[in-house]
Chain A
Amino acid sequence: MLRLSNINSYYGEVQVLRDLSLEVNKGEVITVIGANAAGKSTMLSCISRTVTSFTGEIEFEGERIDLLRPDQVVERGLIQIPEGRLLFPKLTVRENLELGAYNKRSRAGRKEGLEYVYSFLPKLKEREGQMAGSLSGGEAQMCAIGRGLMANPILLMFDEPSLGLAPIVVLEIMELIKNIQKEGVTVLLVEQNVRQSLKLADRAYVIENGRILLEGTGTELLNSDQVKKAYLGI
């Protein structure tokens, strides 16, 4: 469904991604793990086209998308929930959610979308009139996920959804991602929380210094010596 082939990306002189190739199939949860600054977020930004300084091909549902504008990528149903949530702090929760459905594909159905998201995340309904800037970390992440769902995603990309959250909330978020998969949405999850995110994954990749180091099923990687040593501290 999504295929990255030989992506090389640069920030000025610094090369961030090196010959990175990766594939996501329909219905899967794919996890990409790696340390800070390994290039995980950059990879998602290349897919979303908010970073444009890269070479290589990105294909989504058989169509080249590496020359599109960010809004055109969103239009294809390829949605990113960014690192650090990036909510609009001075807009209400409801306004944040509605903006998730800004693209033409989901704009007309945004009323039903809102009901759907509220049924999925009832907590957001209680907070709907509140400024998004006043939400707690967990609620803010829920709101960001809800905003992503509003876009009616075909493939939903999560950039470190567990960042800065209490362990119990992390479990909640992971559960939520599993439920999103059950709703028929394909998931590309980028995480530093290796254990939880590998448990969830159908397949996973390990990135180091902008390169794919390992690839396998979630269980394979959880049991791999390299991952254990480098990321799980066992």
Chain B
Amino acid sequence: MSGGIYALISVGLALIFGVVGLVNFAHGEFLMLAMYIAYWIYNKGGLDPYQSLPVNLIVMAVIGFLIFKLIMERVLDSDHSIQMLLTLALSMVLQNVALILWKADYRSIRIPMTNSSTNMGFLTLNTPRLLAFVIAIGASVLLYLYLQKTFTGAAMRAISQNGKAAQLMGINIKKTYMLAFVIGTVLVGLAGLLLSPIYPAFPLVGANFSTLAFIVVVLGGLSSVPGAIIGGLVIGVIESFAGYFAGAAYQQAAYFLLFILVLVFKPNGLFGKKA
């Protein structure tokens, strides 16, 4: 079931990498911010994460917009190494700001739904997990359709295939970069929000998930959005099976093993194009 969340985190990362060309190491920190936003709205205002969804996503969009305008826009033409150092630094800054502001405590949201379950005939599922899965996959597929079916989506795919030609088509590159960055941020924010009823918020929570997302994205072929969706689901399934059959201690070992195998035998990822 966690596969859906992994997919949703990863599609944003893949979109930003594919369109903007940025390897965003701060992606996980956006997840953390969204979890804290959900937590504080619940704690101070009494709205559960599902009720605060619109506010949360709008705040995430604004954060994404500001970070793009103030920080990322300056390095768009720079070396990959400079961009990576910058996003890595941004990730550390956000982690430590969170540490200063909100301490290292685990903060969980306990809403009535946290312990409720939904009966679906032959299997019974924890309701927030089921919701997270359904909404996450739904949002990921929506992003895929957006890229495939709309004109702006086609422009994004065009940029990722040939930036110079895209400029000659009259596509405003910076504006499209910004849009892709904001969409990626909002999607990872949605993932954080869906996680918040089942997973505690703490300053380093993003790091766990972003490592995973990087594996998923590499597995799916770097800039491929459908690859990221399927990669996320695959990792989720492997994690569950390893946990069930070999014990929770082997969960991470299992998907890292798969990761190494893919790198050895299919270095372009499962759905990647040849370099």
Chain A residues within 8 Å of B, Cβ to Cβ: 48, 50, 69-71, 74-75, 79-80, 82, 86-91, 95, 98-100, 102-103, 107, 147, 151
Residue pair A102, B165 in contact (C-beta under 8 Å):
no
Is B44 an interface residue when CB atoms closer than 8 A count as contact? no
Closest A residue to B148 by CB, please name it.
A95
Residue pair A100, B165 in contact (C-beta under 8 Å):
no
Residues on B with beta carbons closer than 8 Å to the beta carbon of A75: 170
Residue pair B158, A74 in contact (C-beta under 8 Å):
no
Residue pair B157, A91 in contact (C-beta under 8 Å):
yes
9 new A-B pairs (CB below 8 Å) besides A86-B165, A90-B273, A91-B158?
A: A71-B170, A74-B168, A86-B162, A86-B168, A87-B165, A89-B161, A91-B154, A102-B151, A107-B151
Is B43 an interface residue when CB atoms closer than 8 A count as contact? no
With A88-B165, A89-B161 as contacts: A95 and B170 at CB distance below 8 Å: no
Task: Assign chain B's interface to a size class.
Answer: 10 to 19
Residue pair B161, A91 in contact (C-beta under 8 Å):
yes
Closest A residue to B162 by CB, please name it.
A86
25 contacts between A and B (CB under 8 A): A48-B167, A48-B168, A50-B167, A70-B170, A71-B170, A71-B172, A74-B170, A79-B168, A82-B164, A86-B165, A87-B165, A88-B157, A88-B161, A91-B154, A91-B158, A91-B161, A95-B154, A98-B154, A99-B154, A99-B155, A99-B158, A102-B169, A102-B170, A103-B169, A103-B170
Is B171 an interface residue when CB atoms closer than 8 A count as contact? yes
Residue pair A88, B158 in contact (C-beta under 8 Å):
yes
Q: Which one, A71, A95, A100, contacts B167 given CB within 8 A?
A: A71
Q: Which of B168-218 contact A (CB under 8 A)?
A: 168-173
Residue pair B168, A70 in contact (C-beta under 8 Å):
yes
List 3 tightest A-B contacts by C-beta distance, closest first.
A74-B170, A103-B170, A86-B165
Taken together as a complex, chains A and B put the C-alpha atoms of A99 and B170 apart, in Å, by 9
Residues on B with beta carbons closer than 8 Å to the beta carbon of A74: 168-170
With A98-B154, A99-B155, A102-B155 as contacts: A88 and B162 at CB distance below 8 Å: yes
Q: Which of B145-160 contact A (CB under 8 A)?
A: 151, 154-155, 157-158
Residues on A with beta carbons closer than 8 Å to the beta carbon of B171: 71, 99, 102
Taken together as a complex, chains A and B put the C-alpha atoms of A166 and B151 apart, in Å, by 34
B57–chain A nearest beta-carbon distance, Å: 28
Residues on A with beta carbons closer than 8 Å to the beta carbon of B161: 88-91
Residues on A with beta carbons closer than 8 Å to the beta carbon of B151: 98, 102, 107
Closest A residue to B168 by CB, please name it.
A80
Residues on A with beta carbons closer than 8 Å to the beta carbon of B273: 90
Residue pair B165, A151 in contact (C-beta under 8 Å):
no
Residue pair A86, B164 in contact (C-beta under 8 Å):
yes
B171–chain A nearest beta-carbon distance, Å: 5
Taken together as a complex, chains A and B put the C-alpha atoms of A107 and B154 apart, in Å, by 13
Residues on B with beta carbons closer than 8 Å to the beta carbon of A98: 151, 154
Residues on A with beta carbons closer than 8 Å to the beta carbon of B172: 69, 71
Residue pair B157, A151 in contact (C-beta under 8 Å):
no
A153–chain B nearest beta-carbon distance, Å: 11
B62–chain A nearest beta-carbon distance, Å: 25
Q: Which of B11-34 contact A (CB under 8 A)?
A: none
Closest A residue to B152 by CB, please name it.
A102
Contact with A along B39-50 (1 / 0, CB 8 A): 000000000000
Taken together as a complex, chains A and B put the C-alpha atoms of A151 and B167 apart, in Å, by 13
